[in-house]
Chains A and B, each alone.
Chain A
Amino acid sequence: MIEFDWSTFAGLLAHTAGFWYVMLPAIALGLVVGAIPGFSAANTIIILLPLTLALEVETALVFMVALYASARMGAGVPAILVNIPGTAGAAATPLDGYPMARAGRGQQALAISFVASIGGGLLTTIAALALMPWLARVAFYLHSVEMIVVMLFGISLIATVAARDTLKGLIAGLFGLMLGSIGTDHVYATPRGTFGFLELYDGVPLIPALVGLFAISEAFVIIEQRAIVTDDDRGLVASAGWAQTLEGASIAVSRWWHITWTSLIGLIVGIVPGAGAAIASFVAYQQSRFFSRTPELYGTGHVEGLVAPEAANNGVTSGTLIPLLVIGIPGGATAAIMLVVMQYHGVNFGPSLFEERPEIAYGIFIAMGVTYAVMALTILPLARYMTRVTLVPTLFLAPLILSFTLVGAFVPREYMFDMYLAVAFGILGYIARKTGYHVAAILIGVILGPLLEQYFIRALRMSQGDLSVLFSSTLGNVLWAFLLLTVAFPFVFSRWRARQRQPSAQS
């Protein structure tokens, strides 16, 4: 049984705060890489491996955790200001964040996003510390069949939440799943759907897909307007002072309960290996809208519509570390790289970590908590200056977005092919944006495609090819019911609403 000692906690807190000189550069770097689509905390840690491997184990850990947490927060900045999420986890942020920026409330939106991220991150860090033994058990109940349904549920949720039309959203999501299935199969390495390109044998690389679908397509759309912010609201942004930042922070703090429960959604989803921040942010957005008294305001620049995905996105940060620490299974790519670095330093994750190296086991979460506290002081004042991006004429902004995001597509594998692939996805994303298909649905499908196939094959091999295995689990059947409800509800609700309007129109 993992025990939590308060005196150890106080000592670790004081000790971790002493690493402020490591946190500050890591936070600055994390914000930058999180904000550039294509760069991520995972890529940056890989690039800086010579540094992290050379540092002392505690220093390396604090650096990686601070980078990870700040990159999550940084991803929301371009999502709000230019409708380009820095990572898939911020894909739900533009739904309400970007309309706020266009209306000249970008500074306020950034402040709300930062406070929601910090609040969500801090709360889930504390929750993770206190509830780790029980939270770790969640992953044990989810087997192949349940994971298949979780992923299909995630796709259908995004289709109903983000897409203008549920049917189109489902087509986009399933198209994404098919694109995600490109590559050799897991058992016999048979190439599938690769168009003869060797570079696609390992599957569609995620960064070029993200860069293309979100950034490149957006660059071709934003040239329709002079600047991000509308002409009527330019004055608001140009003359904005500290009041907007303080107002945004105050608005977010007043939504403390909203931040709390949506960040817990992120924590729980983050515990499930492979589920990912993208699903967490959309689940939180959908739940926030479902329980709202004003659901019709979502998508128009509604505060809760921004708070929910940002809090959940940062709740995932703690969640992905729980399976890593407790059972040695990383919850995501960044956690996997942290595992490699720690193993190099002789630290083995798993249940024994809490007895042999408790300062590492608990120190990770304490480092995360201190990072969020430091970010509250250092990042919030930057909102006022970041918003100026919305005033930059798009004739300058669009080429900059194109060139820097193409760099992001090149960085992971250093193949020129990936840049062409990003352009291809950019064209697909442009067509999707102009015709009412949501690019997030396509991207989530591309991300989940390989994972879904892995679990599908595993389930079928265990059942020796019997498809009824998909309905053999009680938890799985409950999740299937949720999935069907999610898909059917919009159709039923819209017909009911049309019938309600008919009698009043006739009268």
Chain B
Amino acid sequence: MNEQPAGESQRPMPSGSRSFGSELVIPGLALLFTVYYFVSIHEAPWTAKASTYFIGGILLALIVVFVALALKTLASGAASLSFAPLFAPPELALKRLGLLGLVGAYIYVLEFGGFTLSTFLFLYLAMLTLGGLRVARIGALVAGACALGGYVLFIAVFETRFPQGPFETLMNAVLP
């Protein structure tokens, strides 16, 4: 497989070995999705199938080629089935998971807490997760300023209809 320079921000692979385990995730997802898609259009009219059978067919062929090349490289001993690159560096794995959990919680809480309060809580907790207690004070200031700024820009100026929470209700009552 040829290599070309690209401007992506990526950490280098472990030296001397290619980790096909992680590289097979995207083709695996693509394969699963394509099969699910084909099943979902199994009884559909031809207009619903034609284009996607064409694209999906080429995609499946390319995945087969990729897997074949991967197996060949694995057999030669120049690669492993490691998933390490996905979680590299290991010391950040827990923080990443924590951040992902906070993102999910943020979206969930947004419906009850409203935009401003939920954004403040998310920003503050995310900064604490990434920086620890040493950023507690400045994190609170930054989170507060940005949440308020977001309220002004997105709700007051752009009038985006976010779920209303205690802060928005208060502002609606106080402001003309």
State the A residues within 8 Å of B (CB). 47, 83, 94-99, 102, 160-168, 170-172, 174-175, 177-179, 181-182, 185-188, 190-194, 216, 218-224, 296, 298-300, 305, 393-396, 398-400, 402-404, 406-407, 410-411, 414, 416, 419-420, 423, 426-428, 431-438, 449, 452-453, 456-457, 460-461, 465, 490-491, 493-494
B122 cross-chain contacts in A, Cβ below 8 A: 399, 402-403
A456 cross-chain contacts in B, Cβ below 8 A: 50-51, 54
B30 cross-chain contacts in A, Cβ below 8 A: 171, 174-175, 178
Q: Assess whether B127 is interfacial by the CB under 8 Å rule.
A: yes
Q: Are A399 and B126 in contact (CB under 8 A)?
A: yes
Q: Are B51 and A181 in contact (CB under 8 A)?
A: yes
- B62: which of A170, A194, A433 is its contact (CB, 8 Å)? A170
CB within 8 Å of A: which B109-150 residues: 110-111, 115, 119, 122-123, 126-127, 130-131, 135, 139, 142-143, 146, 150
**Considering only CB atoms, which chain B residue lies closest to A489 in the complex?**
B2
Min CB–CB distance B113 → chain A (angstroms): 13
Known: A181-B51, A220-B99, A224-B92. A491 touches B2 (CB 8 A): yes
Interface residues of B, CB < 8 Å — how many? Answer: 78
Q: Assess whether B10 is interfacial by the CB under 8 Å rule.
A: yes
Q: Are A299 and B86 in contact (CB under 8 A)?
A: no
- B2: which of A165, A191, A407, A427 is its contact (CB, 8 Å)? A165
A193–B35 Cα distance when bound, in Å, is: 10
Q: Are B55 and A174 in contact (CB under 8 A)?
A: yes
Q: Assess whether B7 is interfacial by the CB under 8 Å rule.
A: yes
A396 cross-chain contacts in B, Cβ below 8 A: 127, 135, 139, 142
A411–B130 Cα distance when bound, in Å, is: 27
Known: A171-B66, A435-B26. A181 touches B52 (CB 8 A): yes
Q: Are B10 and A218 in contact (CB under 8 A)?
A: no
Known: A190-B48, A403-B123, A416-B107. A164 touches B150 (CB 8 A): no
Q: Are A435 and B85 in contact (CB under 8 A)?
A: yes
- B9: which of A177, A427, A433, A461 is its contact (CB, 8 Å)? A433
Q: Are B150 and A403 in contact (CB under 8 A)?
A: yes
CB within 8 Å of A: which B36-67 residues: 36-37, 40-41, 44-48, 50-52, 54-56, 58-59, 62-63, 65-66
Known: A171-B59, A193-B33, A407-B150. A438 touches B47 (CB 8 A): no
- B8: which of A164, A298, A393, A419 is its contact (CB, 8 Å)? A164
Min CB–CB distance A322 → chain B (angstroms): 28
Q: Mark B81-119, 1 if CB is under 8 A from A, else 0.
A: 000011011001001100110011011001100010001
A165 cross-chain contacts in B, Cβ below 8 A: 1-4
